[in-house]
Amino acid sequence: AAKGKGPERKALSLGRTKGSEILFGLAPCWLALAQARRALFRLFLKEQRGGSGRPLRAELALQAAARGVPVLHVPGRALDALSRGRPHQGVCLEAAPLPFRSLRDAEEPQRGHGESGSRQLLWLVLEHIQDPMNLGALLRSAYFLGVDRVVATHSNSCPLTPIVSKASSGVVEVFDVYSTDDLQGFLKAKRAEGWEVVGTVSRPEDVEGVPVISCSEFRWDKPLIVVIG
């Protein structure tokens, strides 16, 4: 520090762990810490100038400490750099990437019986969704609406990035997302098992050679896969 400018401050090291990524925002960081489905390296919180700070950030610090995750209080500009200018709400978390889960490792679902009143299974298949904001919004809606499983095509699809986690309000931290390299084979196998596979169109005349019915007339009486792409 220059003479007369006060005590020298130790330079803040923001060097990243190799292969890590930066989650940002309260919901993604909170749920990532709570679920611990990733390797967690460091929690960054906006430093407070006087006062006790925001209670949620204090709780995040306690949660991180309980998991043995170092907590660093840094200036807001450091968080801006970590999140690349995206809205971080005063919180960033360095963590390992979250991969898609393999369908080979998935548990066999328990099928319901429409005739007995039990709810039928509902899966969402996402084909070549490349925009992370769209993917996050789809995952957030699927979780809220009670979709049982989400399956994405592995190639030509957006990975589960921090932007996806933020756009999903942290849903990817609590909700498994599976992937497949053979979408057609997967759908054919499910059809052979008695599942209904449907897509959506805005106008019936846009589709040739495929039966189209109104949503209001559709009868959901078997396990259902909805394909969006």
Comparison of pLDDT for 193 and 12, the residue scoring more? 193
This prediction has a pTM of 0.83
pLDDT grade for 12, boundaries at 50, 70 and 90: low
- Please report, for residues 75, 97, 122, the alpha-carbon distance to residue 161 in angstroms, rounded to integers and kept in the order given: 24, 7, 25
For residues 130-149, one letter each, b for 16 or more C-beta atoms within 10 angstroms of the residue's C-beta and e for the rest, the string is: eebeebbbbbbebbeeebbb
Task: For the domain made up of 21-95, give the CATH fold.
Answer: 60s Ribosomal Protein L30; Chain: A; (3.30.1330)
Integer CA distances (angstroms), 168 to 171, 176, 193, 229, in order: 5, 13, 31, 18
For residue 105, give every residue at least 6 positions away whose Cβ sits within 8 Å of its Cβ, in sequence order, or none. Answer: none
CATH 3.30.1330.30 location in the chain:
21-95
Q: Does domain 101-108+119-227 have CATH number 3.40.1280.10?
A: yes
Winning range, highest mean pLDDT, from 41-55, 59-73, 198-212: 59-73
